[in-house]
Structure 1
Amino acid sequence: VHSLDGLPKVTREPLYFNESKKLLSWARDIGHSLGKNKSTVDSAFYSALTAQKEDTHFTNQHSFPIKILLLGHRYTIEDPYLNMDLIKRLNAHNIGMITSGAVSEKQQNEQLQHFTKKPFWYDFRQAYSSAAYLTQHQQIDGIIYLTSFGCGMDAIIIEVIKEDIHQLPLLVVKLDEHTGDAGLDTRLEAFSDMLERRLS
């Protein structure tokens, strides 16, 4: 049922990001439901993959004297509207950032060996293990965790990182309707000053 005439059917196709063949199959199914032929969908699909591989959004962060690990859900890290242009704000304080994507799956798995059972949540495994690896190899000076929720998985990840990786300063930034520019700038400035003092 649509409120407007001429709209395509609502899709209910399951989406799998772990295998490119399944993802391509999903794209073709969606394209078909939108009235697009296979070659058009395939062309758009491979163009999108190429654009993703060539994305340089985070590659110019290594020249800054201070480096932090930026953790959180990808949509909060990569969307400048949601994160209030956090990366530009960090860069203005001479802070570059690294994400968990800088740590390979093999390196991440090595950091999970001490758990009696492998953590269930993918985001937990990625956040914790990248923080542990980069701290152990002295590649970061601090950690910022972006969260939009005060409960759920983020709360657990933050507490485990606080408990296990206490060598480095950790700043938790909660993004919600109460987060304002002035408050965020003040917290980032204080965090930056602390990191500079630790490194001097």
Structure 2
Amino acid sequence: MIAIKKMMSLCFIALTTTACVKENDDLGMEGSAECLYKVTIDGQTTLPNQFGQDNIVITTSSAEDIFSFRITQAKTDPSEESVMDAVAYNGRFNSKLPEGTYPVGFFGATSFQANESGLFPLYGFEEEGEWGNATITLVENSDQRIRMKVSGTVMKQDEVGGDVKELGLVPVEAEIIIGRKHYVEATVDGVLVGGAVCKCQK
């Protein structure tokens, strides 16, 4: 069984702020587009703040060519949350990272549908191949905002009769948008790295 709570050695630079969004275009996301997401896993779509205030985080590494984003979805119990992580390689995130597609080396998510957190169903892979394949596309890295998409397939696991079963590959599509004002960067050990944290608001 893969470990969705896998620890990553990332150099994390972040800033916490809030923003307002609207839901109106074909992606369900429009307006100031300062801090929002849309996730569809196994045919189920989630937008921000279904149960409480959600967060988006971008991190990168000064030691390796990897970067990631994380969505944490608050539950009705403030101590609980669901988490989605996607880690890409072949690039460090900063304001100069070219727009384009980067392979995902790790993906993990718990269910975003229930109002209580739980380990199952569990979605993801730790290595490309049998357990799925996905990419992160950096759609926009402008002075106004950062926009990333995930697309691919991931393994679904669930408890069946008291045992954990692999139920097969399911599609995943995810998108995040973060306003540039939430982003910070710095040079660490001679490497330009950046990151962001924002709290989603409707």
Class of the TM-score when normalised by the shorter of the 2 chains: under 0.3
**TM-score, structure 1 as length reference:** 0.21
* Larger proportion of helix: 1
Higher relative contact order (CA 8 A, sep 6+): 2
TM-score (norm 2): 0.21
